[in-house]
């Protein structure tokens, strides 16, 4: 399905009715004691066949044997769930991506993006979907994930199988030395946990650890600005008690969660724009330049400032968040 086809589907009555039917079926299934995946499979009758197939294949893979690399990445599983992410990309969020030709077709590179999403940051998955669906030479990026998320049993297994790797400099370095495409989100939990009133205002990029890794591995940095992820779960407040229960740094209170129960986990259908900016070539710097604190800071601020400006530009280009 093309981006244009997805946008038409999302705006006509058929697409809206299918999604509404899916949500009703999910609610009824969960109320009747079904697990989320079983409820989703039974409720998906009105959705595209590719989406239903993805749910079926996902369930089969979660029950069976599978091959994976040293990081837990399972390309066959990732292919199986791609139609589900394609639905989110083309229909639910109507993602428009620009600058995909700035993503190298081969070899190492670091994609550095802003981070948002509160309950479930989908920015990495939509960046991946854009590359897989619309890049002239599709490839699987690997994305850095905070350690606490790997403590959630089902989510941990799923993230590893689609390319998630625990976020630390050593892992990022090893992946880049294997000529992988690596996504990093320097804001970390500060980005996903900020209130809705501070949306699209970049948080600090820490101490520039991503720049050190890029310098040591001589990897180009591709800044990425993601607009749309701030509206999928508008964070109004925190729930410290729920955060302690699940071992998360925070659990947000949103307009739908926890008031609607499991249905409150369904993200709102905001419109997205993703801009992949021109790469920053670091090849003129030797690996030992990573020890130059001033250089690391300057490059980190350069990337942060570029992404912030691109966020503002793409907010204007997007217009309304939901229409």
CATH of the domain at 134: 3.40.1130
pLDDT digits (tens, 9 = 90+) for 148-194: 777 776 688 889 999 999 999 999 999 999 999 999 999 988 889 89
Residue 103 shares a structural domain with residue 145 = yes
The string of DSSP codes covering 192-245 is: HTS-GGGTT-----TT-HHHHHHHHHT--EEEEEEESGGGSS---EE-HHHHHH
The pLDDT assigned to 1 comes to 39
Indicate whether 83 belongs to any domain.
no
Indicate whether 323 belongs to any domain.
no
Residue 256 shares a structural domain with residue 299 = yes
Domain that holds residue 172: 93-318
Residue 104 shares a structural domain with residue 61 = no
Beta bridge partner(s), residue 179: none
Indicate whether 213 belongs to any domain.
yes
The span from the CA of 230 to the CA of 138, in Å, is: 26
Q: Which position has the token pair 């229409």?
A: 323
Indicate whether 172 belongs to any domain.
yes
Residue 116 shares a structural domain with residue 258 = yes
Cβ atoms 282, 220 nearer than 8 A: yes
Q: pTM of this prediction?
A: 0.81
Residue 65 shares a structural domain with residue 98 = no
Indicate whether 1 belongs to any domain.
yes
User: Distances in Å between the alpha carbon of 112 and those of 186, 220, 233, 270?
Assistant: 7, 10, 22, 22
The pLDDT assigned to 262 comes to 87
Indicate whether 78 belongs to any domain.
no
Residue 43 shares a structural domain with residue 156 = no
Region 7-28 average pLDDT: 60
Residue 24 shares a structural domain with residue 127 = no
Tokens of 288: 């030992």
Q: Which of 69, 103, 122 is the last residue in one of the domains?
A: 69
User: Distances in Å between the alpha carbon of 194 and those of 123, 253, 254, 264?
Assistant: 15, 12, 12, 19
Residue 202 shares a structural domain with residue 118 = yes
pLDDT digits (tens, 9 = 90+) for 215-259: 999 999 999 999 999 999 999 999 888 888 877 888 889 999 989
Indicate whether 82 belongs to any domain.
no
The pLDDT assigned to 99 comes to 98
Cβ atoms 220, 279 nearer than 8 A: yes
Residue 4 shares a structural domain with residue 112 = no
* Three-state DSSP state, 224: strand
Residue 140 shares a structural domain with residue 54 = no
Residue 57 shares a structural domain with residue 172 = no
User: Distances in Å between the alpha carbon of 298 and those of 3, 70, 211, 250, 303?
Assistant: 37, 34, 10, 31, 9
Does the structure show a pLDDT above 80 at 4?
A: no
Indicate whether 128 belongs to any domain.
yes
Omega before residue 189 within 30° of 0, cis: no
Domain count, the chain: 2
Residue 265 shares a structural domain with residue 227 = yes
Q: How many CB atoms lie within 10 A of CB 41?
A: 18
* Structure confidence at residue 314 as a pLDDT band (50, 70, 90): very high
């Amino acid at each position: 399905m093309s981006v244009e086809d997805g946008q038409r589907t999302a705006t006509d009555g058929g697409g809206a009715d299918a999604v509404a039917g899916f949500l009703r079926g999910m609610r009824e299934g969960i109320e009747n004691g079904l697990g989320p995946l079983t409820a989703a499979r039974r409720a998906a009758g009105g959705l595209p066949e590719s989406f239903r197939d993805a749910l079926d294949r996902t369930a089969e893979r979660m029950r069976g044997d599978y091959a994976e690399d040293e990081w837990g990445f399972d390309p066959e599983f990732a292919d199986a769930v791609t139609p589900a992410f394609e639905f989110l990309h083309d229909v639910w969020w109507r993602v428009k991506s620009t600058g995909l030709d700035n993503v190298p077709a081969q070899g190492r590179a670091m994609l550095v993006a802003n981070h948002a999403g509160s309950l479930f940051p989908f920015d990495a998955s939509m960046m991946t979907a854009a590359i897989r669906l619309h890049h002239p030479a599709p490839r699987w990026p690997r994305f850095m994930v905070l350690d606490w998320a790997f403590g959630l049993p089902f989510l941990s297994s799923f993230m590893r199988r689609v390319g998630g790797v625990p976020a630390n400099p050593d892992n990022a370095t090893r992946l880049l030395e294997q000529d992988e495409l690596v996504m990093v989100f320097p804001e970390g939990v500060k980005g996903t946990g900020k209130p809705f009133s501070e949306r699209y205002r970049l948080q600090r990029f820490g101490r520039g650890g991503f720049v050190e890794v890029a310098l040591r591995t001589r990897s180009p940095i591709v800044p990425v600005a993601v607009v749309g992820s701030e509206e999928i779960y508008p964070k109004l407040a925190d729930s410290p008690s729920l955060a302690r229960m699940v071992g998360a740094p925070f659990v947000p209170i949103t307009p739908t969660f926890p008031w609607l129960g499991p249905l409150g986990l369904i993200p709102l259908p905001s419109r997205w724009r993703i801009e992949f900016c021109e790469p920053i070539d670091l090849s003129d710097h030797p690996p030992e330049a990573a020890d130059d604190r001033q250089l690391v800071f300057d490059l980190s601020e350069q990337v942060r400032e570029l992404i912030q400006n691109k966020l503002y530009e793409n907010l204007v280009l997007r217009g309304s968040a939901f229409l």
